[in-house]
Structure 1
């Protein structure tokens, strides 16, 4: 998939469809097959992917480790008034 996107190898300017285009080395990206590349292929190269997308689960229907709370702990509900109250007059 990274072969679908090209990045400029060097900074250059050229005319394209009546506009002055500036491409910057390492910054400007163009989709492979774009008409702008015709005759300028030497200005671009495929991008390097440093971090690719990982699958969320190993297979469809597989459960993630850590339970359904996403690592959060759920508090148990208790009877009203039992949390933090002394329950009587002093």
Structure 2
């Protein structure tokens, strides 16, 4: 092991029997070429505006909010009030 500082001094030596090496591999599976292309080209990525619009639509369907889109703090508090099961799960 080398220290990246002055003179790159060796600060420890380890034998192969003391070293553990891990590899992590992530695979992606797609139903078809269209789905793979959407993933590769980020064609269906969620953007913040779309997420917030959907959240406001759902809150409006439940009788809230009264305005087009409340300020961020009001929207957050309305979400906590309206979806208590999510708030409880996040707090656990």
TM-score range, shorter chain: under 0.3
Q: Which has the larger radius of gyration?
A: 1
TM-score by length of 2: 0.20
Name the structure with the higher strand share.
1
Name the structure with the higher helix share.
2
Structure of higher RCO (CA pairs closer than 8 Å, 6+ residues apart): 1
